[in-house]
Amino acid sequence: MLLTQLPYGLHWLRIIFVALCLLSLTLFAQAQVQVQRQAMLMGSVFEFTVIDKDSLQANEHIDMAIAEMERIENLISEWRPETQISAVNRNAGIRPVRVDAEVFDLTKRALTYSKMSDGAFDISIVALDKVWVFDGSMTEMPTEEAIRQSVAKVGFENIILDSVEQSIFLKHTGMKIGFGSIGKGYAADKGREFLRKLGVEGGIVNASGDLASWGEQTDGKPWAIGVNNPFRLHKMVKILKIREGAVATSGSYEKYAEIDGKRYAHIIDPKTGYPSTGLTSVTIYGPSAEFANALSTSIMVLGAKKGKQLLQQFSEYRYIFITDRGKVIR
């Protein structure tokens, strides 16, 4: 009765006030927080950003995502002796090793990346003898013979998969495989998938520069991802605005050898045993961090011209190349 007895204007003011209170309560109930945390995983710094209902739940979800990353590392690391990949490497030239479906499928995709890049991408490159050193101590070129011998155990065509037995066999003694080239991109994709299944509406899994994002920031804006210019410190080449997407960068500007005034990248051509030349960094962005990672690694070896030709097959992916002379190609 109170509302009906109020003057006409006050009646509507009361209704508006009640409506605003209800709206405020609804917005408060739906309020979200953005939580960011780092962790050492796969020998690198990972950064998790999640949009969640409160800090407690956000940190619980990040803890679970970290555990998922550790699970993946315990499957695919070639450095941990107890992993399935280490078992595959120990049995090179001896016998096939049965592995989990996840490991088998990742290896199968890696061979697809090798074929599509004409061998520029190759997970067996970890068998290279250490003729190149990228810690600043190298002052002389290795001999041609040493380089030739270094690639003797490299060759993706000698990785034999048996889909019936779900096994991996390396044909030659001394061969090794490793996922340093796509492992972090794969982890970023899996982290995004994992957190989404937990109900996290938005976030970024940044696996040391290879990242996967989804949703948006608390203000409704897309995520802003900066692409660095290695020739101009603190200068961004581009700010990517993405919601559902992934970014991966391969580059030679942090690890390299400088001999007689020439810089040699740590990314080696699997066919020749020589460092890649022509490009200082390759950034690829599109739906999958794993695939972007495979493309960026391949293109560092292929060079800009062949790299652009390769990317013509994949319209969902875009690129930013920076040449050894600092030219930006996009």
Taking Cα atoms as reference points, which of 14, 29, 169 lies closest to residue 107? Answer: 169
**CB contact set of 19 (below 8 Å; sequence gap of 6+):** none
Collapsing DSSP to helix, strand or coil, 7 comes out as: coil
Sign of CA dihedral 34, 52, 201, 60: positive
Q: How far apart are CA 290 and CA 297, in angstroms?
A: 11
Taking Cα atoms as reference points, which of 110, 83, 111, 109 lies closest to residue 97? Answer: 83
**Cα angle: 70, vertex 73, 77; to 5 degrees:** 155
Relative to beta strand 202-207, strand 44-52 is antiparallel
Relative to beta strand 262-265, strand 245-251 is unpaired
Sign of CA dihedral 230, 236, 238, 242: positive
Torsions phi, psi for 226 (to 5 deg) = -90, 135
Collapsing DSSP to helix, strand or coil, 285 comes out as: strand
Binding annotation = 181, 297
Taking Cα atoms as reference points, which of 303, 298, 300, 313 lies closest to residue 120? Answer: 298
> Residue 122 is encoded by which pair of tokens?
């190759």
Relative to beta strand 223-228, strand 210-214 is unpaired
Binding annotation for Mg(2+) = 181, 297
**Cβ atoms of residues 121 and 111 within 8 Å:** no
